[in-house]
Amino acid sequence: MRLGLYAARRSSFILAGPMARAALKQGHEVVFLRDPAGAKLGDDWQDAEILRPFPDAMSVPLAQFAGDWLAGPPPDQNLQPNDLDRLRQDGVKLCSLDPWFDSLARPFADAYDVTHRTIRHGLIPTDGLADVVPGIGADLLWFPPKTRVPGAGQRAVRWAVTVVLARALRRVASRGSLRLVVKRRPKIRLPRAVERLADVVLEDDTLYPHASLTALGTAALSVCHQSGAAMESVAAGIRCLSVQIPHRHLRDYPHWPLMAGRERSPYAWPGVIDAMPLLPALRWLARWTPAVMPRWGERAAYIDTWLGGRVLGTSGWVVEQMERRG
């Protein structure tokens, strides 16, 4: 089959990358689809970048795509109506992919030929771990929060939390002879103090495997802020500290209820994702050593509850569903 994968942005490859790998493995043709309507400044990619991980794939504008299937985040919510109508008229089947837990927070349309839901079928982005070579736990890996958010008060709080936490993480890394690795996204502006304190500042410089997954391959601990990095850490078998900060700018988003950090939620699970505000987190870090590993029984329970019972193979399952439907 000829599979089009929605890739309007660089960040689209958290879904498009694993799906491409699974489809190419089964001998299918893969086309990455550019969409100017979904593009975002600073989050673009170049054709040459897909050649290394996917030398047999190609890219075309969405408006020029002809094929058997289109897969990506819910098409009815991400494609322009005229593109969606044309694809349906051309007989292209639609596959809806759940990036994280979006399907828990809002209803997915029933009009898709295949619908993937993380909680039922598994998490697609972590399939990239299959192509990550694990190393020794030599890094303290931090995914800092966005500082460019609405509201001066919220920005000030995040800026202060970022600086305070950077200093604490620097002390922990030095005490444990670890590198402090900071994973930055294009929309994150780091205080200069953070850049000075970090041993390495990682960018999204590879499309696949995603840079965050590659960084987890050498991490002893990951630190995040109620983000998808928590789920990636669980999948990679890395203990995670989620330092809770206000996300008031997301209150109108469907996944807002999941951000509360209640125990046994996607962002807080005992012995796996330790979730707490800044001051308790600083005390937790003062006691932490690389010997503090995930509780493997709790990790298995988290995976069963939130990741469809699997860490790898979800994209292969989706491709199999498309094959069955022709």
Same domain, 135 and 96: no
Whether residue 318 sits in one domain with residue 279: no
Instruction: Give the CATH number for residue 96.
Output: 3.40.50
3-state secondary structure 91-136: CCEEEECCCCCHHHHCCCCCCCCEECCHHHHCCCHHHHHHHCCCCC
Q: What's the pLDDT band for 109 if we cut at 50, 70, 90?
A: low
**Shared domain check, 143 and 97:** no
Judgement on whether residues 146 and 115 belong to the same structural domain of the protein: no
Query: What Cα–Cα distance (Å) separates residue 118 from each residue in 24, 135, 170?
Result: 22, 28, 35
Q: How many CB atoms lie within 10 A of CB 152?
A: 8
| Lowest-confidence region among 73-87, 185-199, 248-262, 306-320 | 248-262
Averaged confidence pLDDT in the chain: 90
Q: Is 305 part of any domain?
A: no
In degrees, rounded to 5, the angle at the alpha carbon of residue 155 between the alpha carbons of residues 189 and 276 is 95
Closest by Cα among 204, 169, 171 to 187: 204
Helices and strands of the chain, counted as H and E runs: 12, 12
Which is more confidently placed, 254 or 295? 295
- Which has the higher per-residue pLDDT, 263 or 315? 315
Same domain membership, residue 46 and residue 19? yes
pLDDT at 112: 86
pLDDT per position as a tens digit, 307-325: 999 999 999 999 999 999 9
Residue type at 113?
D
Q: Is residue 148 part of a domain?
A: yes
Do 106 and 138 lie in one domain? The reply is no
For residues 215 and 294, give the distance between their C-alpha atoms in angstroms, rounded to a whole number: 17
Report yes or no on 301 lying in a domain.
Answer: no
Residue 35 placed within a domain: yes
Does some domain include residue 209?
A: yes
Residue 300 lies in a domain: no
Please say if the pLDDT value at position 133 is more than 90.
no
Count of structural domains within the chain: 2
Determine the average pLDDT of the residues in 18-35: 97
- Beta strands at 219-224 and 240-243: parallel, antiparallel or unpaired: parallel
> Do residue 114 and residue 40 come from a single domain?
yes
We report the CATH number of the domain holding residue 144 as: 3.40.50.2000
In a domain, 285, yes or no: yes
Shared domain check, 170 and 257: yes
Q: How far apart are the first and last CA of the chain?
A: 8
Q: What is the pLDDT of residue 254?
A: 63
User: What are the CB-based long-range contacts (under 8 Å, 24+) for 155-160?
Assistant: 157/245, 157/246, 158/245, 159/191
Give residue 108's pLDDT band: very low, low, confident or very high (50, 70, 90).
Answer: low
Predicted confidence at residue 325, as pLDDT, reads 93
Please give the pLDDT value at position 43.
83
Residue 199 pLDDT: 98
Average pLDDT over residues 96-107: 72
Check: CB of residue 220 under 8 Å from CB of residue 290: yes
- The residue written with tokens 């699974």 in the block is 22
Q: Which helix (H) or strand (E) holds 291?
A: none
Q: What is the DSSP letter of 144?
A: P
| CA–CA distance, 13 with 32 (Å, rounded to integer) | 9
Q: How many residues belong to the chain?
A: 326
> How much is the pTM?
0.91
Assess contact for 140 and 176: CB atoms under 8 A: yes
CA–CA separation, 81 and 148 (whole Å): 31
Closest among 232, 309, 323 to 22, alpha carbons compared: 323
Question: Are residues 77 and 186 located together in one domain of the fold?
Answer: no
Q: Are residues 165 and 141 in the same domain?
A: yes
Q: How far is CA 237 from CA 34, 140, 219, 293, in A?
A: 34, 14, 10, 8
pLDDT confidence band for 77 (50 / 70 / 90) = confident
Is the per-residue pLDDT at 259 higher than 70?
no
Residue 127's pLDDT band (boundaries 50, 70, 90)?
very high
pLDDT above 70 as % of the chain: 92
pLDDT score of 253 more than 70: no
Question: Same domain, yes or no, for 284 and 145?
Answer: yes
One domain for residues 10 and 61: yes
**Domain housing 80:** 2-123+310-324
In a domain, 280, yes or no: yes
pLDDT band (50, 70, 90) for residue 236: very high
Is-contact 314 122, C-beta < 8 A?
yes
**Distance (Å, whole) CA 43 – CA 35:** 12
- 279 vs 117, higher pLDDT: 279
Q: How confident is the model at residue 284 (pLDDT cuts 50, 70, 90)?
A: very high
Strand residues in the chain grouped as ranges (E): 2-6, 29-34, 58-61, 69-72, 93-96, 114-115, 139-142, 179-183, 200-202, 219-224, 240-243, 273-276
More confident residue, 299 or 158: 299
Instruction: Give the range with max mean pLDDT: 187-201, 248-262, 280-294.
Output: 280-294
